[in-house]
Structure 1
Amino acid sequence: MATIVTLGALLFILVNLIYFLKDKHFKYSYFSTALFYKLFFVLFGIMIAFAVLYYALSFDNPMLRVSSPGGKPVEHTFSNYLYYSGVTILSVGYGDYIPTGYLRFFALLEAAIGLLLPTAYFMRVLDSKGNKGNE
């Protein structure tokens, strides 16, 4: 049953993405597929790079702790740091992991990049739309 629900949810997500990317309802809107892919792959690459950075910085001293009264160090696996990096770049975080030491600075930097890159993307798309109207 869980497999069917999972496949149904994935199919629903895929159909919605296709609908969003292929919808021609708005005649005057401008969507750049190339810029969208560029944004996606740049964010994905930065997320992986920060995960590697977090993982490397935590070899000697655990710098990622569980957000609980005990605050135990997070298990030193790449997947934990990749998860933390993804949550940080795509949002302000869930709060389940807390960075310590140098990771605090890098987490702020990654969160800022995660906020500013999509903003720059939309500004570029709007600028392209404005330039098309002036021609």
Structure 2
Amino acid sequence: MFPSILIGLTIVFIVMNLFYFFTNKTYKKSYVNSALFLKLFFVMVGLTFGFAVLYYLLASNEVILKISDGTGDQAPEDFMTFLYFSGVTILSVGYGDLIPVGSARFFALIQASLGLLLPTAYFMKAMGSSSEDQ
């Protein structure tokens, strides 16, 4: 029961980070705005930690990561392993050294999608705000 509540709260935290990123604030005067860049950076860090906590909580119920070495052994279930997997997934769609299994596969797909789409949205926002100035 308690892990389910924590998983729900972690998902709410992730959604709030996304909502914060897409709120309608305008940034003007350049393609690379430091305020917009910092906003993207902190949202990406927040999502990385949020998904790491989510994987950590999911691991209390089932095996969610396996090592990709042919044996298929379970990956260590410490927070640093989940933080590493989360960071690699959001920044590069994974290296392939750890394989998500079970319910983690769905969340890894969502996280990888966010890792690709958020920087794209950043650049679209930056380009849009700078073209409005001209």
Normalising to structure 1: TM-score of the pair? 0.76
* 1:58-108 residue CA offsets vs partner (Å, 9 max, x unmatched): 113221000011010001100000000000000111000000000000000
Q: Percent identity?
A: 53
Max Rg structure: 1
Partner in structure 1 of residue 99 of structure 2: 98
Using the alignment, how far apart are the partners of 2:83 and 2:125 within structure 1? 29
RCO higher in structure (CA 8 A, sep ≥6): 2
Runs of 4 or more consecutive aligned structure 1 residues displaced over 2 Å after TM superposition:
none
Q: CA RMSD in A?
A: 1.2
Aligned length: 106
Instruction: Supply the distance in 1 between the matched residues of 2:60 and 2:36 (Cα, whole angstroms).
Output: 36
Q: Tell me, in whole angstroms, the C-alpha distance in 2 between the residues paired with 1:61 and 1:86.
A: 21
2:81 matched residue in structure 1: 80
TM superposition shift of 1:29: 5.4
1:110 is aligned to 111
Q: C-alpha offsets along residues 32-73 of structure 1, whole Å, 9 cap, x if unaligned?
A: 000000000000000000000000001132210000110100
**Consecutive unaligned residues in structure 1, runs of 5 or more:** 1-27
**Secondary structure of the residue that 2:63 maps to in structure 1?**
coil
CA separation in 2, counterparts of 1:123 and 1:60?
40
Where does the alignment leave 5 or more consecutive residues of structure 2 unmatched? 1-28
